[in-house]
Amino acid sequence: MLQRIAMLSAHTSPLEQPGDGDAGGMNVYVIELSRQLAARGIEVEIFTRATSRHQPAVHVPEPGITVHHVAAGPFEGLEKNDLPSQLCSFVRDVLRAEVENEPGHFDLVHSHYWLSGQVGTVARERWNVPLVHTMHTMAKVKNAMLAEGDAAEPIGRIRGEEEIVRLADRLIANTAEERRELIELYDADPERVAVVHPGVDVQVFSPGRQAEARRRLGVPDDAALVLFAGRIQPLKAPDVVLKAAAVMLERDPALRERLAVVVVGGASGSGLQHPTALADLGVELGLDDVVQFVPTVGQRELADWYAAASVVCVPSHNESFGLVAIEAQACGTPVVAARVGGLTTAVADGVTGVLIDGHDPADYATALHRLLTDPDLREAMSQKAVRHAEGFGWDVTADRTLAVYDQAVTTHRESLV
Annotated binding site for UDP-N-acetyl-alpha-D-glucosamine: 17-18, 25, 231, 236, 297, 319, 327
> How many angstroms separate the CA atoms of 344 and 355, rounded?
7
- List binding-site positions: 11, 17-18, 22-27, 80, 113, 137, 157, 231, 236, 297, 306, 309, 319, 327, 333
Q: Which residues are annotated as a binding site for 1D-myo-inositol 3-phosphate?
A: 11, 22-27, 80, 113, 137, 157
- Cβ contact 356:338 at 8 Å: yes
- Distance of alpha carbon 108 from alpha carbon 106, whole angstroms: 6
Do 314 and 322 meet the contact criterion of CB atoms below 8 Å apart?
Answer: yes
The Cα–Cα gap between 139 and 80 comes to 14
List of residues 6+ apart from 397 with CB closer than 8 A: 32, 33, 36, 196, 197, 198, 199
Beta-bridge mates of residue 173: 195
Annotated binding site for Mg(2+): 306, 309, 333
- Give residue 85's identity as a one-letter amino acid code: S
Euclidean distance between CA atoms 115 and 122, whole angstroms:
12
Q: At what angle do helices 113-127 and 87-99 cross, to 10 degrees?
A: 40
Tell me the β-bridge partners of 354. Answer: 336
